[in-house]
Chain A
Amino acid sequence: MQLGDRIVTLMAALVLVLQIAMVAQRWISIHIRIFAAQSFFLAAIAATIAWFNHAPHIFVAAVLTIVVKVILVPVIFERLIERMKIHEEIEPLLNVPISLVISGGLTLVGYVIAESFYRPEEPGLGHNALAVAISLFLIGFFNMINRRKALTQVLALLSLENGLFLAAISLTYGMPLIVELGVFFDVLVAAMVLGILIYRIRETFASMDVSRLRKLRG
């Protein structure tokens, strides 16, 4: 239990660092790779929880995370980038140092919120992971607001979803398998649909900048 808790805490910290790295990242392709790495560590957390709690169905969730979020979604996005020939940098609305400080503040908020869920008499595996999950969630939201381009907003949405997944496994030790399956299918479909949507936005407006989507077109 002690060891499991330590491993989960360590991995959760790495996931948080990667989330903050995403805020600071300027290149879309590296952004996608960071997302893949973050999902990989998430899968590792799931596997650790499955191992130490003897809950084999979480292993399935871990494997699905690897297949969908570490392999499929990044591949879909890499192809999209290649097809659209995007080479320009991500332009956040706020500059990077301010964004980083804000994400740091949001992490603090995450910890404060998670403290109220913590019950010392019942030391579950990875209650620290909940704090990280809430921080991921908040920083993901912030990242969505802070970005102009549709593709990076979708990536922020997916990292936000990573936060939800982390919260789910650290609080409940895994939802029923059928729910997990639904969620992963959802993510995959969302990535594909949003990929097509982004492509269409690009085709119609000659840009992915969502601030240009002001006029209705028939």
Chain B
Amino acid sequence: MMERALERLIESAAQLLLLLALAPLVTGVIRTLKARLQSRRGPGILQPYRDLRKLFGKGMVIPETTSWIFSATPWVVFFSTILAGLMIPMVAADAPLGLFGGVLAVIYLLGLGRFFLALAGLDSGSSFGGLGSSREMTISALAEPAMMLAIFTVAIGAGSTGLTEIAGAAIGQTWRFLAPAQMFAFAALALVLIAETGRIPVDNQDTHLELTMIHEAMILEFSGPYLALLEWAASIKQLVLMTLLINCFWPFGLQPTWFGFGALQGVAWLLAKLLFLSCAIVLIESVNAKMRLFRVPELLAVAFTLGSLALVSTFLF
């Protein structure tokens, strides 16, 4: 019993390190690839780390009009995202904190972070913050059902909403993702991934143009270490969603447990799949123009329809 608890502790620590260390790297790789595709040199893949270090070393300005929510938000967002990250399978199918809850807990932990972020956007009293919060909530209210439907499709196949069980069922069924239900669900989740991580057809991470920004508008008033926490949390959230997509649908190389030589292999596979997904995201971002805000619901309606088709076709095919 004690031994199992110790193992859990080691697993959690390893996954925590992996999340914290890998998340800025993924952001950096995506930025660099995107720059190369546009014939720019780009800042290099380590730039997000340098940004974080610089931001943590800076002073902070907290608007006088804000309440405790403003100061609490970076912590809530950061820790809820990390907790969600520990509840998903990354290297091994066995999620370190999987026993605390399944995929619904992950979705709602991310939702908690988003809720506080939206509150903080409103809290500063600036019009941009409120605008960003309103847009973020509009988009997430549409993205969340689509995500749920897609995940439920996978969950039905595994007979459980626990992510450990879902990933465990996926191991060994390498070509399962070619089934129509899986493909619909994958497409739905990929669209949700783009919407939730603020990628180009929906939002643009690199802009501070007031008309178009969504996520950036909410965190406009944050500076210094708080901004660093929020940026870090955003890249961890991106990593969490990408890993969720990868491990539910492309289970190649996913290990049954964390221990032994397999873990290294698992990490290598994870990195390879993340790189592949990053390339896909870069391509999507580069060939699309940003959508008008009122067109975004249409994209998410596509995701919702695909998700419901996926759910229907698991029963009928």
Q: Chain A interface (Cβ within 8 Å of chain B)? A: 6, 9-10, 12-14, 16-17, 20-21, 24, 96-97, 100-101, 103-104, 107-108, 111, 115, 128, 131
Contact = CB atoms under 8 A, between A and B. Distances in A.
B313 interface: yes
Contact of B183 (A10, A104, A128): A10
A103 B317 contact: no
Interface of B: 178-180, 183-184, 187, 297-298, 301-302, 304-306, 308-309, 312-313, 316-317
A9 B302 contact: no
A24 B295 CA distance: 11
- 4 nearest CB pairs, A to B: A13-B180, A97-B301, A96-B298, A104-B305
B316 A96 contact: no
Contacts of B187: 17
A107 B304 contact: no
Nearest to B308: A104
Contacts of B298: 24, 96-97, 100
A24 B178 CA distance: 24
B297 A97 contact: yes
A97 B308 CA distance: 13
A101 B301 contact: yes
Contacts of B308: 104
Nearest to A16: B309
Given A24-B298, A100-B304, A104-B305, 17 more contacts: A6-B178, A10-B179, A10-B180, A13-B184, A14-B183, A17-B183, A17-B184, A20-B302, A20-B305, A21-B302, A24-B302, A96-B298, A100-B298, A104-B309, A107-B309, A107-B312, A111-B316
Nearest to B307: A104
A9 B305 contact: no
23 contacts: A6-B178, A9-B179, A9-B317, A10-B178, A17-B187, A20-B305, A21-B302, A24-B298, A24-B302, A96-B298, A96-B301, A97-B297, A97-B301, A100-B304, A100-B305, A101-B301, A101-B304, A101-B305, A104-B305, A107-B309, A111-B312, A128-B180, A131-B316
